[in-house]
C-alpha cells in the first residue's frame, strides 16, 4: 500500500521555496518514493491511501538539536540533578518527548542528560513501544572544575544523578567516552566552559586544547559526533580547532574562531530561545530576577546577535535548538520561536530559517542523511501546517496550526494530557527569596498576628 499525500504547498527542505499542487508518495517502509508535481505523480491504486492536505503547507518535520529530556521543566539546577530518581526521569522524559512531537518536531537531540535517560527514551520510541520523536541521545556531559554542571562545592562533588560527569584527567575522559559509547549514545557532550571567568572577565575554557582534541579524536574514532557547550571565545576556539561537530552558543566568537570553524566544518546551534525567554519572562521576584540575570543575558544576547550574524554571512551552518527542559522553555512550547529569532535577530529569510530547522539541523542527527528533506529514499517525517511559514514564520509557534505530524508516514496521535508541575518537577527545598530583618519587615509593612504592626 502506498500513501499519497496531496499537498497545497510543498516545501521539500532542500531549497528555500515552496511549490504548489504537489504530491508525496510513501511506501510501506515509511520512505518517500515520490515528491513532486501532482501532474506527474504515480496514479493512486484503489488499495492506496490518499491524504488530502491540499489546503495545507507540507514540509519536513522540524528538528530541535537542543532539547534536554532529563530536565523536566526545571526551575533550578537542583531540580535537574537531585530530586527525582533516574527511572522516573526516563518516564517523564518520554511523556515530555510526546509534547515535543505534537508541536511538529519529529527529531530532537538530547545533548547531555543524566544516566541513560535519553537513550532509554530513544529506544522505547524507536522500538515501537510508544509514539514519539526520533531522539539523538547523549549521556552525561564531560566536565571539569571550570565547566558547566560541576555546580556544587568540591566537598559535595558531582552526584551520580547529575547531568555532568566530572573528569580530572585525559585518561578518565577517554574511559568515560568509551563507557558511554558502549552503552549506546549517539553523541558525546562536552562542557567546554561554564561560568568561571578570569579577572579580566573572559570565560575560561574548561578543557585545554590538548585535552579537547584528545576527547574529540576518541569520540570520532568510535564513530560518534561531538557537541559542546561553549559560550566564551576560548572554549569556542578550542572546540572548533578540535573539529567538534556542533557548538552550542558560540556567542563570543571572533575571526579566529570563525576561521577554525570554516576549516573544521563545525556547525553552530545558537540556542537563542533560552536566552530570549530568560530576558522576556523572568519576573523581578524570581531568584534569577533578584540576581539580575535578565539584564546580564540581554547584554550577552546583543553581543551574540552581532557575532552570529558574522558566522551566518561566513557560511557556518546554523542549527535550530532551544534548550528546552527549563521552566522558561517547557516541552512543546517554544521550539519554533528559534526560527522567528533566526529571522528577526540573525538576518535569515523565513525560507532559510525553515531550511536550517530541517535539512541543516538533520546534519547532526543520528541517521540524519535520511531525514530533513522530503525526497525519494528518505523517511517521510513531515508536518502539515495551516498557513505558510514562508509568509509568517511565527505561525509555527501556534499549536493549532500544526494540523498533522507524521513520522515514517504514520500520523502521530498524542493525547494532550495535562500534568501538575509541582508533582512531576518542583522539588526544590528553597522557601524564601527575601531576608526578613526587622528593617525589611517594617519597610514591607508586614503585619504580625493580633494585628500588631512590626516595629
Please choose, out of 143-151, 318-326, 360-368, 420-428, the segment that lies near Zn ion by the rule CB under 5 A.
Answer: 318-326
**What minimum distance in Å lies between the beta carbon of 237 and Zn ion?**
20
Please choose, out of 7-15, 21-29, 196-204, 323-331, the segment that lies near Zn ion by the rule CB under 5 A.
Answer: 323-331
d(CA 203, CA 107): 32
Partnered with residue 405 across adjacent β-strands are 383
d(CA 266, CA 45): 46
64 binds Zn ion (CB under 5 A): no
- Interface characters, 275-314, with Zn ion (x: CB under 5 A): ----------------------------------------
Assess contact for 246 and 319: CB atoms under 8 A. Answer: yes
**What minimum distance in Å lies between the beta carbon of 431 and Zn ion?**
28
Please choose, out of 209-217, 315-323, 402-410, 418-426, the segment that lies near Zn ion by the rule CB under 5 A.
Answer: 315-323
What is the spatial order of strands in the sheet that 267-269 belongs to? 164-166, 141-143, 187-191, 225-230, 246-249, 267-269
Please choose, out of 256-264, 287-295, 320-328, 381-389, the segment that lies near Zn ion by the rule CB under 5 A.
Answer: 320-328
Residues in the chain: 455
Comparison of 113 and 234: residue with beta carbon closer to Zn ion: 113
Comparison of 81 and 323: residue with beta carbon closer to Zn ion: 323
Comparison of 112 and 409: residue with beta carbon closer to Zn ion: 112
Comparison of 321 and 372: residue with beta carbon closer to Zn ion: 321
- Interface characters, 404-423, with Zn ion (x: CB under 5 A): --------------------
Please choose, out of 251-259, 321-329, 336-344, 345-353, the segment that lies near Zn ion by the rule CB under 5 A.
Answer: 321-329
| Pick from 396, 246, 268: nearest CA to 332 | 396
Q: Of these, 218, 234, 323, 338, which contacts Zn ion (CB under 5 A)?
A: 323
**What minimum distance in Å lies between the beta carbon of 181 and Zn ion?**
21
**What minimum distance in Å lies between the beta carbon of 66 and Zn ion?**
5
Assess contact for 121 and 132: CB atoms under 8 A. Answer: yes
Cα 131 to Cα 90, 121, 348, 400, 414, distances in angstroms: 15, 11, 33, 20, 8
DSSP-derived pairing of the beta strands 203-205 and 193-197: antiparallel
| Pick from 140, 183, 188: nearest CA to 161 | 140
Question: Look-up: residue for cell 582534541?
Answer: 213
With a CB cutoff of 8 Å and minimum separation 6, the contacts of 129 are none
Residues contributing to the site for Zn ion (CB under 5 A): 323
Amino acid at each position: 500500500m502506498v500513501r499519497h499525500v496531496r499537498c497545497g504547498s510543498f516545501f521539500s527542505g532542500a531549497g528555500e521555496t515552496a511549490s504548489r499542487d504537489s504530491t508525496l508518495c510513501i511506501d510501506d517502509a515509511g520512505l518517500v518514493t515520490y515528491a513532486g508535481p501532482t501532474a506527474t505523480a504515480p496514479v493512486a491504486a484503489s488499495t492506496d491511501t490518499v491524504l488530502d492536505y491540499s489546503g495545507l503547507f507540507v514540509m519536513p518535520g522540524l528538528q530541535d538539536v537542543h532539547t534536554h529530556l532529563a530536565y523536566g521543566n526545571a526551575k533550578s539546577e537542583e531540580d535537574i540533578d537531585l530530586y527525582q530518581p533516574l527511572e522516573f526521569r526516563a518516564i517523564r522524559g518520554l511523556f515530555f518527548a510526546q509534547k515535543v512531537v505534537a508541536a511538529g518536531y519529529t527529531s530532537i537531540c538530547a545533548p547531555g542528560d543524566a544516566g541513560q535517560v535519553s537513550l532509554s527514551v530513544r529506544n522505547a520510541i524507536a522500538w515501537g513501544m510508544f509514539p514519539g520523536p526520533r531522539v539523538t541521545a547523549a549521556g552525561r556531559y564531560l566536565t571539569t572544575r571550570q565547566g558547566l554542571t560541576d555546580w556544587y562545592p568540591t566537598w559535595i562533588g558531582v552526584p551520580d544523578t547529575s547531568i555532568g560527569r566530572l573528569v580530572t584527567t585525559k585518561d578518565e575522559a577517554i574511559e568515560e567516552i568509551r563507557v558511554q559509547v558502549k552503552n549506546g549514545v549517539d553523541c558525546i557532550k562536552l562542557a567546554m566552559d561554564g561560568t568561571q571567568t578570569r579577572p579580566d572577565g573572559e570565560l575560561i575554557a574548561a578543557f585545554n586544547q590538548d585535552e579537547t582534541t584528545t576527547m574529540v579524536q576518541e569520540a570520532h574514532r568510535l564513530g560518534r559526533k561531538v557537541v559542546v557547550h561553549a559560550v566564551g571565545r576560548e572554549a569556542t576556539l578550542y572546540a572548533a580547532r578540535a573539529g567538534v561537530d556542533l557548538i552550542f552558543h558560540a556567542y563570543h566568537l571572533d575571526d579566529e574562531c570563525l576561521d577554525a570553524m570554516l576549516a573544521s566544518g563545525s556547525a553552530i546551534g545558537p540556542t537563542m530561545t533560552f536566552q530570549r525567554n530568560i530576558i522576556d519572562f523572568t519576573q523581578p521576584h524570581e531568584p534569577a530576577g533578584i540576581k539580575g540575570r535578565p539584564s546580564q543575558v540581554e547584554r550577552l544576547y546583543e553581543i551574540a546577535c552581532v557575532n552570529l550574524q558574522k558566522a551566518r554571512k561566513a557560511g557556518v551552518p546554523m542549527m535550530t535548538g532551544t534548550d528546552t527542559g527549563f521552566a522558561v522553555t517547557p516541552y512543546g512550547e517554544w521550539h519554533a520561536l528559534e526560527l522567528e529569532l533566526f529571522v528577526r535577530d540573525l538576518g535569515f529569510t523565513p525560507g532559510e530559517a525553515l531550511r536550517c530547522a530541517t535539512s541543516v539541523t538533520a546534519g547532526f542527527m543520528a541517521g540524519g542523511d535520511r531525514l530533513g528533506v522530503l525526497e525519494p529514499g528518505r523517511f517521510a517525517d513531515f508536518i502539515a501546517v495551516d498557513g505558510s511559514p514562508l509568509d509568517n514564520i511565527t505561525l509555527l509557534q501556534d499549536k493549532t496550526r500544526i494540523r498533522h505530524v507524521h513520522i515514517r508516514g504514520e500520523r502521530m496521535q498524542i493525547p494532550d494530557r495535562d500534568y501538575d508541575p509541582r508533582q512531576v518537577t518542583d522539588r526544590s527545598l528553597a522557601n524564601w527569596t527575601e531576608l526578613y530583618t526587622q528593617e525589611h519587615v517594617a519597610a514591607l509593612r508586614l503585619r504580625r498576628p493580633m494585628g500588631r504592626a512590626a516595629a
